[in-house]
Amino acid sequence: MSLSNHLVFAAPVHNSSTVPDHLWEELTLPIPYEADWHLAERILCEEARDVSSTAEARRAVEQMRHRYPVAEAEVHARVFVRATPNRVELSARFVVLVRAARQVKHQVTRRALDRLAENGVRVAPVTQDSTVHPPQPPRTATGPADRG
């Protein structure tokens, strides 16, 4: 029995030995609206750029630009800002070695948190604030039958 390749392979098959040894890592920090989130964005962006500025990371970014159809601005370290009902979410994206991703993310997180604390910018809780009101006694109807 023989089967055509299009019946066997439902998705593209990638040779993992050709995949670059760098990947995109992302770090998201929630910042309260009342905090200086512009400063927090700057700090996070600086830390992301620092880890993405090594010669290896720059080489990986160039490989990505040539391999995939993305604009140059899309492959460099940057911070994305997202508004939520309770906070601003800052997501830093940066290039790291696959084998060092966890350690690098740890370092970026620690440095960013230290710098935010030094500048009085706190990280927001990911919970929501709720206000609970005590139950109100039921209202009684005062219709014509109650007045007699």
What's the whole-model pTM score?
0.66
pLDDT tens for each residue of 6-57: 555 555 554 444 556 777 889 999 999 999 999 999 999 999 998 887 777 6
**Res 90: pLDDT:** 97
**Res 114: pLDDT:** 97
Q: How far apart are CA 13 and CA 62, in angstroms?
A: 24
Strands (E), 12-138: 22-31, 78-83, 88-97
Question: Could you tell me which residues are beta bridge partners of residue 95?
Answer: 24
**Res 145: pLDDT:** 60
